[in-house]
Each structure stands twice: as C-alpha cells, then as structure tokens.
Structure 1
Amino acid sequence: MSIGNSPEDERPLQDVSEEAHTSVGRALRQARIAAGLTVDDVSSATRVRMAIVHAIEADDFAPCGGDVYARGHIRTLAKAVDLDPAPLLEQYAAEHGGGPAPTPAAPLFEAERIRPERRGPNWTAAMVAAIVVVIGFVGFTAVKGGDDGGGKAQVAEGATPSTSKPASPTPRDTKPADEKPEPSDSAIAAAPQDKVTVQVTAPGGQSWISAKDHNGRMLFDGLLKKGDSKTFQDSSKINLILGDAGSIQLYVNGKKIENDFQPGAVERLTYTKGDPEVG
C-alpha cells in the first residue's frame, strides 16, 4: 500500500485559459482553417492584402490604419469564412475601447489602395480649347464688323439720326429671360439609357472609394471628402468599392439608391444599364 497522491493527482493541471478566451484573430484563423482556405484564398476573395490578413489573425490591427478600417476588415474576413461578424465586432469593441475612433485622412484604406495611373498632359484637350478660342474670336470680329457696316449704310442713305430720347421700354421688353431652374438630385444623376451612370456623394462624412469601368480601367481611387460628389459613366458596367459605405449616398441611372449600409462597412457593388438593382 503506497502512501501519497494517486496517479490521477500527479497529472499536470490543464491550462484552460486559452480555451476560455478565444481572441478575434484566433477565431478568424480557426474558421479559415476549418473551411479549408489558405490566407491567399481569403485575400483573393476579399481583396484584403495577405499581410493584413496575417496581422489580424495574430490580433495585430495596427496595419489596418484605424478602428473604422479594422472593423471593416473583421466584417469582410468573417463573411469570407462563414462566421457571424457581430460577436467578433462586439469583442473587438470591448477590447479596444468601444466604438471606432476617428481616423486621419492620410492613411487611405490600405487594403484596397491602388496606385493611380500617371498620365501626361492632355494635348488633345488643349488643342480643342485653342481652336474654340480662335473660332470665337473670328466670329466676334465678323459680327462686330457687320454691325459697323450696317451703321455706315444707314448714314450713306441719308437717314437722319434721331436726337430724341429713346422710348422707354415697355414692361414686356423689360421682362427678364426665363432662368433655368436648379437641377434636382435625380436630374444631376440622370443618364442616357444606353449607358450606366453612377453618382457617389458623401453627405455623412468622408470615405475612400474606388471605381472601375467594364474593362477594369481605374476611373477613380481616393478619398471622397464630406459634401463632395463624383459621377462615373460607362457603356455597360461600373464596379465600386466603398471604404465606409455608411457615409455614402448613391444615385444610379437617375434614381436614388435606398440602402442600409452601416458605418465602417466595406461594400463592393456593381451597377449596369438596367439598374438601380445591384448587378
């Protein structure tokens, strides 16, 4: 008969701290592995750079550029691996001081930032402008010369210039020309039926946006400040990425798009000639 602890008592205690608390990054990594996806697969599906995916799975959110973009990445990655993003966002908020903090405009949404094409001077537009100026000058000169000739013709015919005061204009003569009314939002966003036109405004705050045509050519890539507006047009399709969709209002083919985009949400949208329904 032995004296002391039994073999079961001598087993090392199991550290359950890791199981009791799964971090946001660890939860995303476990879900990705369970779905049989690699980091490259997730990066290609979400357009979030591989370096940022690795950092988030290691619970390092500094490369995201701020809380707004970190929350957007968490939501995007969670959807890609079939996770409910709401509990992860609540956990992130609890661990990082509540709601998203305001971020500076300088670090644009790094995950999707694309270097714009470097373009040279637009000589064609400059030549067209010069031709228009020359034609306008010639036309003005011709009209002025014609007026002078008419005056000289009247003097040659012996017409006596009148010394009396000119008659006062009648009320009908003084009626101002009809002024064109200010275009409404729908009129501004209206477009021909053979094209797709998308107007992006930022009434709720600034947001990074990216716009491409049907060939994948970059139309715009940058920060849309609060109150600013951009309009894009293509023959068949416009592809959009909104960094903070909750700050954006869209007009597609002359119609206002009603949406429930959340602040900080990253949205990828495609519109065609037949919309306002998303393509």
Structure 2
Amino acid sequence: MSIGNSPEDDRPSIGRALQQARIAAGLTVEEVSSSTRVRIPIVHAIEDDDFSRSGGDVYARGHIRMLARAVRLEPDPLIAQFDAEHGGRPAPTPAAPLFEAERIRSEPRRPNWTAAMVAAIVAVIGFVGFTLFNGDDDSGTAQVAEGSTPDKTTPEPTTTTKPADPKPVPSESAIAAAPRDKVTVKLSATERKSWISAKDHNGRQLFDGILLPGDSKTFQDNERVDLVLGDAGAIELFVNGKKVDDRFEPGQVERLSYTKGDPEVG
C-alpha cells in the first residue's frame, strides 16, 4: 500500500518560494537588496536555501522576513517553515549588561589616635618654649620714645590675575560637531533594550553587547563603521552629527555600514 505525499511535502522550499515571488513581482536581486539592505550574496544564498551566510538563525529569520515583504509574501508561514526545518525558535535568555566595570570601594581608614596625641604634645612643648624664649628677649630691648611711631613703608600695589574661563566639558551634543575626516556613529536605546555589534573598517570589534533603555554608545573610525542591530526599531541613530530618520520596525534585524560625510550617502 502506498502512502501519498502530504501537502507540506508539495510546498516549495523557502528559497524557491522567495525566488518565485521575486520573479513574479518583476524585481531583480539588486532591487531587492537595495530595498531591504540585505547584501546581494546573502539574497542569492537564501534563494538557494543556504542560510549559513546569514550569521545564525536569528539573522536568517530577519532576512527571510524582510525579503518576503519586499516580494509581497506573507512572512509568518516562511518563518514557521524555517523553524520547523531548523529545530524551532530558541528559548529567550535573560539579558544582562555586558562589559560592566566592577566598582572597587576603598576601606575607610581608622583614625590613628596615637599619632594625634604625639603631635599635640609636640605642639604644646614647642609653643611653651617659644613663649619663654621671646620673654627673655623683651628685657634687653630698647624702649621707643613716646610719641614716636615706627616708619611705615608704603605697600606695593598688588595685582590680581583673573582666572581663565574654564573650558566647556564636552557633552553628548558634541556629536553635532563631528570631525569631517572621521566617521562618527552614536546609538541610543529608546524604549527597549537591543543587542548591537560595532566593528571598524578592519573588522576589529568595537562593541558587542546589550544596550539598555536610556543608554548610548558612540563609535568612531577613520574610514567606516559597520553595525548589526538586533532590534533596529529600539535604536535612535546619529551618523556624522546627523540623525538618521529610517523607521525600523520592532524586532527588525539590520546590518548597516557608514562612512565619512552625509549618512544618506555613507
């Protein structure tokens, strides 16, 4: 007795479904990459059902969601199909602030009463000796004639130097004057926490951790800053002193790169 295929076996793969929808919408891979900011090699890989270039299951889900919306597909069934084929969505883990410096408190010093008593005794002995010595000297001093007053020297006029005005302390608003020969990126978490990753143009890690609500991070490089935002909708972004007005949705994963100059161009 033969068993027929289930409807799930007849459905196309995730990559095949995205490719068919893109072709039906009359879009090229370059146009989909430009509208979603998913790099062209990653779009090709996903359409070939190769999710290894996405950087993990979390980013793969985000890429599938953005590509599906770009080609006018409902993303939820594709996400469910991905979870079924890759072991399901991992359980969330409680986030903890990373790179938190441990504060070291110094132990309060106990007063040294012995040293204080010795110092007091020495001060008393010195004062008594000084008084007796001055009393003996007064008996041999000449008396000043009545009515005469010692000459008073005119004090030289003193000049006061006006202290220099203190230099202003740089604040977060100083990013508005970002140097033109560098790229400066500032991230601020608004209402929710978000995992972020930042690298310089050499691929060196600048930061990899959780940005809590109200926290900010500023990164600077001579050529380029590469970002990965785990929840782009929770991040307010300033690049080279200019606010980036992109409206990211909550939970949306974004990979961004910025260079010197206008962030719309970088």
Quick one: structure 1 residues 75 and 14, their matched pair in 2 at CA, closer, same or farther if it must change by over 3 Å? same
Structure 2 partner of 1:47? 55
Structure 1's consecutive aligned runs of 4 or more residues displaced over 4 angstroms after TM superposition are: 29-41, 78-86, 90-93, 177-183
Quote the residue 1:106 is aligned against.
Answer: 95
- CA separation of 1:36/1:266 partners in 2, compared to 1, >3 Å: closer, same or farther? closer
Please list, as runs of the form range in 1=range in 2, the aligned pairs for 1:114-263 lying within 5 A after superposition. 158-159=153-154, 187-263=174-250
Task: Tell me which of 4, 8, 31 is aligned to 1:18.
Answer: 8
Question: How many percent of aligned residue pairs carry the same amino acid?
Answer: 42
Is it true that 1:275 corresponds to 2:259 in the alignment? no
User: 2:181 aligns to what SS in structure 1?
Assistant: coil
Q: How does 1:92-103 map to 2 (within 5 A)?
A: 103=92
Query: Which digits, 9 at most, give the CA deviation of each residue in 1:88-130, with x for residues without a partner?
Result: 226758xx9xxx9x9544399xxxxxxx9xxxxxxxxxxxxxx
Indicate which of 65, 83, 88 corresponds to 2:75: 88
* RMSD between superposed Cα atoms in Å: 4.6
> Following TM superposition, by how much is the alpha carbon of 1:236 offset from its aligned partner in structure 2, in angstroms?
1.1
CA 1:103–1:76: 2 relative to 1, 3 Å:
same
Call closer, same or farther: CA 1:107–1:186 in 2, change over 3 Å. closer
* Paired residue total: 176
Q: Which has the larger radius of gyration?
A: 2
Provide the secondary structure at the position in 2 that maps to 1:215.
Answer: coil
Supply the distance in 2 between the matched residues of 1:251 and 1:245 (Cα, whole angstroms). Answer: 13
Q: How does the TM-score come out when normalised to structure 1?
A: 0.48
Q: State how far apart, in whole Å, the 1-side matches of 2:68 and 2:221 are.
A: 33
CA contact 1:269–1:278 (8 Å) conserved in 2: no
Which ranges in structure 1 are unaligned for 5 or more consecutive residues? 1-10, 53-68, 109-115, 117-156, 161-176
Which TM-score applies when normalising by structure 2? 0.51
Q: Is the 1:250–1:256 Cα contact (8 Å) retained in structure 2?
A: yes
Give yes or no for the alignment of 1:28 onto 2:14. yes
